[in-house]
């Protein structure tokens, strides 16, 4: 465990040539295209271990300016913005009408069978799991 994702990825991770001691890092499955050197991948996602993370945006009920909020959502969903998501946020776009970069198509395929958990199970166990995780990494 480190203080940040950046420390973990760029200091402790040994791939591709960061000089770290650890050949495994918890990251997005979309990280490998960033690690291609001379046309060759230096890392790969373990697709049989993936959990699909979905990031959301929305307008809160009671927002002071819901019309402007909806305009932001519409912009976030636009093909222009969605096409910029892989290279700037390192996540897949939500839009199916934009293509992912060529390197993503080759080195960052989506898992065909990501692990799943029922949202009610997450809600029921979240606090206990956080407590257990905290006791393992801090104590």
Between CA 112 and CA 115, with CA 113 as vertex, the angle to 5 degrees is 145
Residue 1 and residue 33 share a domain: yes
Query: What is the model's pLDDT at position 79?
Result: 96
Return the sign of the alpha-carbon dihedral for residues 3, 11, 86, 65. positive
Answer yes or no: do 91 and 69 share one domain.
yes
Per-residue confidence (pLDDT) for residue 139, from 0 to 100: 67
- What per-residue confidence (pLDDT) applies to 97? 94
**pTM of the entire predicted model:** 0.73
Shared domain for 37 and 25, answered yes or no, is yes
Quote the pLDDT of residue 63.
Answer: 97
Q: Is 132 exposed, middle or buried (0-12, 13-18, 19+ CB in 10 A)?
A: exposed
Residues of the chain where predicted confidence (pLDDT) is lower than 70: 139
Residues 6+ apart with CB under 8 A from 106: 33
- Domain count for the chain: 2
42 and 2: one domain? yes
Q: Which domain holds residue 83?
A: 56-100
Q: Are residues 61 and 82 in the same domain?
A: yes
């Amino acid at each position: 465990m480190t203080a940040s994702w950046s420390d973990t990825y760029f200091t402790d991770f040994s791939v591709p040539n960061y000089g770290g001691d650890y050949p495994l890092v918890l990251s997005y499955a979309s990280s490998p295209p960033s690690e291609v050197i001379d046309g060759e991948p230096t890392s790969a996602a373990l697709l049989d271990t993936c959990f699909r993370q979905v990031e959301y945006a929305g307008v809160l009920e009671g927002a002071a300016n819901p019309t402007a909020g909806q305009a932001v959502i519409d912009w976030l969903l636009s093909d222009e913005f969605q096409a910029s998501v892989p290279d700037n946020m390192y996540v897949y776009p939500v839009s199916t009408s934009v293509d992912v970069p060529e390197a993503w198509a080759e080195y960052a395929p989506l898992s065909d069978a990501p692990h799943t958990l029922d949202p009610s199970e997450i809600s029921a166990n979240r606090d206990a799991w956080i407590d257990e995780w905290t006791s393992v990494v801090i104590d």
